[in-house]
Structure 1
Amino acid sequence: MSSASGKAIREPKVTAKAAIPTGGRREGAARFNLGAEWFDLDKQLAYMDTLEHDVDVICSIGPFSRHFSDLPVDEGRAAAMSWNEEMAAAQRRYPGRLWASAAVPLRDTDVAIEVVDHAIGTLGLIGVNLPGTVGSLDRIDAERLEPFYAHVEKLGVPIFLHPTDSIFPDILDGYNGALYLSLGRVVDISVSACRLVLSGIMERHPGLKIIMSHTGGALPYQAGRMDKNAKAAGLPLPPSTYIKRMYTDTVSPHELGMRFAVEFYGADHVMYGSDYPCWSPATALELFGQVGLSSADQQKIFYGNARRLFGLPDTD
C-alpha cells in the first residue's frame, strides 16, 4: 500500500481542534469526542508512526471553521489571527512533517483578505479553510465576497471546503446523531460546493483551487442531474465541468466510494485522507488498498498531488 516513494500524505480533520457546533446542540445532533487525539500532536504523530508509513500531515479546521465568521468582526479577526499563529507555531515545531491551513473570518471581506495575507505571507501557512456558511447572516457565494476569491486565486493557495454542521439541522435531527452523521455532512458539503459553481465563482476565477472533503460529497454521483437541471443558472459550461476542476480526498468508509471519486475527478485531483481522529487511519489504508489503483496513481494520491497542490518541497 505504500507509494513508490514510501511517503504518504495523510489529511486528518484538524490538529488542535475544538469541534463543537456553534449553533448549539440539539437532541440527537452530532457529538464529538474531545480526547487527546484531537489536540495532542505528539500523541497523534506517535500513533501515525505505528502505521508502517512515512507520514506527513496536512491539517484542516473541519466543522469548526464557521466559528470565526459567527463572531463580531473584530473578535473574529482576533480569534482567527490567534488560531493561525498557533498553527504556524506547530508547523515550525514539526518542520517538514506538519503543514497547517488558515482560519478566515468572512463576515467582513476586507478583514478576510487581511487575515489571509497574514496567514500565508507572514506565517507561512499553506491553505485557507472555507466554512459552508458565513455566520448566520450570509453564504459563501455572497456577491460581496468576490474580491476575497479573486485575492485567494491570485495567491495561488488551495481553499479547503468542509461541512460546518449547520445546514438542515431540523430534518436531520434524532436517532442519536445517526441520521446527521450519515447524510448531514454530505448534504452540507454538496450544497456549499454547488453554490461556488452555480454562482459563477468557479467560472470567473478559473485559477481557484477548491478541495472538497469526503470524496466530493454527493456531487460526483449527482453530476449528471446537475447538468440536466442547472441550466437556469446561466453558466457557459455544464456544472460538472467546474466540479471536476475541484480536488477531493479519499475519506469514505467505502471502497466503492473511493474508487468512484478517483474515476470521476481523475487520479491527478484526489489526495489520500485518513479523516483522523474521526476515523481509523488503519481502516482508511486498508480500504484504499482495495481500490486496485496502479502504482503510478497510488503515488499521485499518496504523495505527488498534495506536494504539487500545496507547493510543498519534495523530500524524496
Structure 2
Amino acid sequence: MATTATVAAVSGLSPAGARASESTRTTGVSARENPRRIDTHQHVVPPFYAKWLESRGITAGGLPIPDWSVEGALDLMDSNGIETGILSVSTPGVHIGNDAEARVKAKEVNEFCAEVVDKHPGRFGFFATLTLPDVAGAVEQAEYALTALKADGVVLLANVRGTYLGAPEWDPLMETLNRHRATVFVHPSELPTPPVDGIPPYAADFLLDTTRAALNLAKRGCLERYPELKIILSHAGGFLPYAAERMARVCSDDGSTERGIERLRKFYFDTALSSSPYALPALLAFAKPENITFGSDWPYANKERSSHFTGLLDTFDLSDSERVAICRANALRMFPRLV
C-alpha cells in the first residue's frame, strides 16, 4: 500500500489545495464520510450524439449507448460523494470515417459540454473531444476547446483503427497539447482485431488497449519530449501496474528495467472499475501516490455497478490522507480552477 503521509506530501498540493484534510480535522467529518470526490472518468452522451451513433448501428466496445442526462449524472454524483465530474466522450469518439463530419461533431459535442459546465458551476468540467486520425482537425479543435471553451483537457482514444498514441504522425497534436500544458485522458477503444466470440471488448480488450497505448507512448519517448502533459490512463492503466516489471525493458531508452519503470511511473491512473481488493494493491504499489485519481465510469458503468466499485474503494484500508489524495487532492493539482 502507498505510504501514509500528510495530504500535502501525498498530493504535492499547496496548503490551499490541502484544505479538505484541514476541514476533516476541524469538523470531525472523515474523508470517507465526505470525500468531495473529483471524478476524472465520467462520461457524457449528448442526446444528438447518441442518436448519431445509433443511426449507424455503433456500440461502445460492445456496450449499448446509454441514456445520459444532467439529472442522472447529478444523482450518481450526489449518491457517491462526487463534487465534480470531468465529462468525456467514450469510444468510438466522433471519427467514424469522415474528416469533415468528425470536425462538425467534435465542435458540437465540445460546445454542448461547455454549456453543461457553465450551467452547473463547480459540478462539472470536461475533456474536449478531438478528431484523430485527422491530425489537422484535432489540432484545430484542441486550440478552440482549450482556449475559447476553457476545456479542462482532452480525451484521446488509445488507438484509432490500429494507430496507437505515440505514433509519429500524431506528433503535431502532442506538441500542441504540450504547449497548452494539457491534461490528457486516455480511454480505450476496440482492439484492431476481431473480438473473441462471446467476450465483448469492454471486458478484457479495453485493458490491453490502454496498456498498448501506454507502452507505445513511453517507448517513443513522448513522456520526455512532452513533459508538460499529464496523461491519465483509464481503469488503473489496464495491465500496466500488475505487469510493469515484465514490460519495462520494452519501453526503456537504455534497455534497463529501471529506466522503463521510471518512464511508466510518469503516468497518472484512475480507479474506474479498478478499486477491487485485487486491483488496488497493484496500483498502489506501482503508481506514485500523487498520480492516482478517482473514476466512476458512469453511465457506461450504471449506477449500481459504479457505486459498487466506489464502495470497494471506501472500504479499502487507506489512511485519511491517502483517501483525500485519491478522491480529490491529486485532481486539484490538474484542475486548479476547482480549488
Q: TM-score, normalised by structure 2?
A: 0.79
Tell whether the 8 Å contact from 2:83 to 2:122 is kept in structure 1 after alignment.
Answer: no
Distance change (3 Å), C-alpha of 1:257 and 1:110: same
Aligned to 1:290: 315
Report % sequence identity: 24
**Selected match of 1:195 from 211, 216, 221:** 216
**Using the alignment, how far apart are the partners of 2:54 and 2:203 within structure 1?**
17
The one-letter code sitting in structure 2 at the alignment partner of 1:74 is: A
Q: Comparing both chains, which one has the higher relative contact order based on Cα–Cα distances under 8 Å and sequence gaps of 6 or more?
A: 2
Tell whether the 8 Å contact from 1:13 to 1:62 is kept in structure 2 after alignment.
Answer: no
Aligned to 1:32: 63
**Selected match of 1:218 from 218, 235, 239:** 239
Distance change (3 Å), C-alpha of 1:47 and 1:203: closer
**Using the alignment, how far apart are the partners of 1:30 and 1:129 within structure 2?**
16
1:114 Cα deviation (Å)? 1.4
Superposed CA RMSD: 2.8
Tell whether the 8 Å contact from 2:293 to 2:326 is kept in structure 1 after alignment.
Answer: yes
- Aligned pairs, number: 301
Distance change (3 Å), C-alpha of 1:34 and 1:112: closer
**Using the alignment, how far apart are the partners of 1:182 and 1:63 within structure 2?**
14
| 2:109 counterpart of 1:62 | no
Q: TM-score, normalised by structure 1?
A: 0.85
| 2:334 counterpart of 1:306 | no
**Using the alignment, how far apart are the partners of 1:8 and 1:104 within structure 2?**
26
**Selected match of 2:289 from 267, 290, 308:** 267
**Using the alignment, how far apart are the partners of 2:267 and 2:97 within structure 1?**
29
Tell whether the 8 Å contact from 2:61 to 2:189 is kept in structure 1 after alignment.
Answer: no
**Selected match of 2:120 from 81, 85, 94:** 94
| 2:165 counterpart of 1:140 | yes
- Please give the per-residue CA displacement for 1:175-206, whole angstroms capped at 9, x wherever unaligned: 253xx333211111111111111112222122
Tell whether the 8 Å contact from 2:166 to 2:220 is kept in structure 1 after alignment.
Answer: yes
**Using the alignment, how far apart are the partners of 1:78 and 1:141 within structure 2?**
25
- For 1:255, what is the secondary structure of its paired residue? coil
The one-letter code sitting in structure 1 at the alignment partner of 2:135 is: T
**Selected match of 1:48 from 49, 71, 77:** 77
Q: Which structure 2 segments of 5+ residues have no match?
A: 1-29
1:241 Cα deviation (Å)? 1.4
Q: Which structure 1 segments of 5+ residues have no match?
A: none
273-282 vs 263-272, greater mean Cα deviation: 273-282
- For 1:99, what is the secondary structure of its paired residue? strand
**Using the alignment, how far apart are the partners of 2:71 and 2:38 within structure 1?**
17
